[in-house]
Amino acid sequence: MRAAHYIGGAFLPDDATTTMFPLVDPVDGTTVGQVPEADRETVDAAVRAARAALEGAWGATGPEERAIALHRIADTIQARFDAFVDAEVSDTGKPRELAATVDIPRAIGNFRAFADLLRARPEHSWSTAVPGWSTGTGQALNYTVRRPLGVVAVVSPWNLPLLLLTWKVAPALAAGNAVIAKPSEETPSTATLLAEAIDAAGLPGGAFNLVHGHGTDAAGAFLTSHPGVDAIAFTGESATGSAIMREAAGHLTPVSFELGGKNPALVFADADLDAAIEGTVRSAFTHSGQICLCTERVYVERSRYEEFVTRIGARARELTDYGPMISAAHRDKVLSYYRLAVEEGATVVAGGGVPHFGDRRDQGFHVEPTVLTGLPQHARTVQEEIFGPVCHIAPFDTEEEAVRLANDSRYGLAATVWTRDLSRAHRVAPRIDAGIVWVNCWNLRDLRTPFGGAKDSGIGREGGTWSLDFFSEPVNICVQV
């Protein structure tokens, strides 16, 4: 797999002046490829190509043509499904089953969902009474049309590379924008395949552009601070969101941010404990905890606390088929939190270190699924996002206390409530500071629903018409009849 920039409908060849950086397989630490780093001129070229597309063939398309184009992109990804799965597994080291059942199908689903939403979207109109000075009452017709924002920058992270990239690219294209995508430097491969799929689907050159490279003082920052960019859709760390927003403020560029989390799960004594335990194993350890929606804080009603801790610990120790952290740097960060937890006084119920497999994975970036207890609520381990396969479990005594503990965080992305009491579920869920609250389930997603975070977990909502609203601007047209 060779990563390449895609600008104005053409893949850029590397030459002697191109700076390259290594692509590392996180499973065993080997270098598996070289990726071109976009400099300022390359980003400038992408912005010019996007602008030209808006002024040319892409800007002239209507919703129906774009809906057809999006379905064609979905078909093209589907036709190369295995290549996409291979590339995602190679970049992230995630289990193949995860890429084949979540990442790639959802990427296809993103294009289909926003194509269909575009077709189904109603327009608004109002009939307005106009008092006439000579002829009595007249009438005006007000109606709205939605116009694309223009050139949209999409900057995405490494944890669900194609899923999260297409979650923004699809609605941005649906709304008629020209897009410049900058995937994570850790995971350039499926983005390159996406450019091939979009090329094969026959979109006009410049409608979709792809640049590779790093973030800070590099391709990411060149793009998000560019005066020719009309909107920024970003998913990543909250601190990166702040940095991007500071730059964007200079041009008043609108932003849509999906940021970090420190997601709580509340397990009430009346819960189906088997379901709560299996659900929490999934929500804490899927993709080795590298999903923004993963649970890192679990609060269990005191009467079930001991049993819950014992059983989750046993389940964590049973896990063997898990992927690595994305990089050596991220592994070191997660391990530093494992050490910090002990310094802060935690009891390590399971894991806490580096696994030994006796094969090539021992050169990779794995850490053990880890269960912690015994920390106070204010401990850094309980307050800061770790983004690894780890959860801390604490007891609570009352519903009030459970809600207070869940909300005692700078983050507010997602939460899970486990209870069989229907009234309690409806009472507790809306009181939690989070963009999404799951009751007796986790990560069950409907692409038409609003998605995003409260507090430091994001700005705005995407999903369904919320995405189409962000990526377009209503214009009111008033006609006196």
Query: CA-to-CA distance for 131 and 339, rounded, in angstroms?
Result: 74
Of 4, 98, 118, 244, the residue at the interface with ligand NAD (CB under 6 A) is: 244
Give the helix ranges, DSSP H, for 175-301.
Answer: 189-200, 219-224, 238-249, 273-285
Residues 6+ apart with CB under 8 A from 121: 63, 465, 468
Residues 6+ apart with CB under 8 A from 469: none
For residue 385, state whether it binds ligand NAD (rule: CB under 6 A): yes
Q: 351: alpha, beta or left, given left = phi > 0 and alpha = psi -120 to 50?
A: left
Query: CA-to-CA distance for 389 and 371, rounded, in angstroms?
Result: 9
- Residue 258 appears among annotated catalytic residues: yes
According to CB under 6 A, which residues from 399 to 428 bind ligand NAD?
A: 413
CB nearer to ligand NAD: pick between 291 and 372: 291
Of 49, 162, 259, 281, the residue at the interface with ligand NAD (CB under 6 A) is: 259
For residue 168, state whether it binds ligand NAD (rule: CB under 6 A): no
Supply the angle between the helices 63-79 and 161-174 in degrees, to the nearest 10: 160
CB nearer to ligand NAD: pick between 112 and 182: 182
Contact indicator for 153, 248 with CB cutoff of 8 Å: no
Of 37, 88, 186, 292, the catalytic one is 292
Give the helix ranges, DSSP H, for 80-142.
Answer: 81-92, 96-98, 104-120
Of 32, 52, 100, 243, the residue at the interface with ligand NAD (CB under 6 A) is: 243
CB of 4 to ligand NAD, least distance (A): 17
CB of 348 to ligand NAD, least distance (A): 24
Helix (H, G, I), strand (E, B) or coil at 424: helix
Strand partners, 295: 263
Query: Which listed range, 82-90, 170-178, 235-243, 248-256, lies at the site for ligand NAD (CB under 6 A)?
Result: 235-243
For residue 155, state whether it binds ligand NAD (rule: CB under 6 A): yes
How many chain residues are in contact with ligand NAD, going by CB under 6 A?
32
Of 305, 322, 387, 470, the residue at the interface with ligand NAD (CB under 6 A) is: 387
Question: 64: burial class by Cβ within 10 Å (0-12, 13-18, 19+)?
Answer: exposed
Count how many residues are written for the chain. Answer: 481
CB nearer to ligand NAD: pick between 263 and 370: 263
For residue 185, state whether it binds ligand NAD (rule: CB under 6 A): yes
Contact indicator for 164, 183 with CB cutoff of 8 Å: no
According to CB under 6 A, which residues from 451 to 470 bind ligand NAD?
A: 453, 457-458
CB nearer to ligand NAD: pick between 298 and 326: 326
For residue 260, state whether it binds ligand NAD (rule: CB under 6 A): yes
CB of 365 to ligand NAD, least distance (A): 14
Query: Which listed range, 54-62, 141-149, 194-202, 254-262, lies at the site for ligand NAD (CB under 6 A)?
Result: 254-262
CB nearer to ligand NAD: pick between 158 and 268: 158
Contact indicator for 85, 74 with CB cutoff of 8 Å: no
For residue 207, state whether it binds ligand NAD (rule: CB under 6 A): no
In a 13 Å sphere around the CA of 447, the CA atoms on its Cβ side amount to: 22
For residue 250, state whether it binds ligand NAD (rule: CB under 6 A): no
Containing 38, the helix (H) or strand (E) segment is none
Of 111, 158, 308, 442, the residue at the interface with ligand NAD (CB under 6 A) is: 158
To 5 degrees, how large is the angle CA 177–CA 178–CA 182? 120
CB nearer to ligand NAD: pick between 209 and 457: 457
Contact indicator for 467, 149 with CB cutoff of 8 Å: no
Of 12, 38, 164, 429, the residue at the interface with ligand NAD (CB under 6 A) is: 164
For residue 295, state whether it binds ligand NAD (rule: CB under 6 A): no
- Nearest Cα to 204, choosing from 69, 299, 381, 294? 69
Of 42, 92, 159, 370, the residue at the interface with ligand NAD (CB under 6 A) is: 159
Query: CA-to-CA distance for 264 and 444, rounded, in angstroms?
Result: 16
| Ordered DSSP codes for 345-360 | T-EEEE--S----SSG
Of 221, 255, 277, 405, the residue at the interface with ligand NAD (CB under 6 A) is: 221
Of 185, 258, 385, 462, the catalytic one is 258
**Residues forming the active site:** 258, 292
Q: Tell me which residues touch ligand NAD (CB under 6 A).
A: 155-159, 164, 182, 184-185, 214-216, 220-221, 224, 235-237, 240, 243-244, 258-261, 292, 385, 387, 413, 453, 457-458
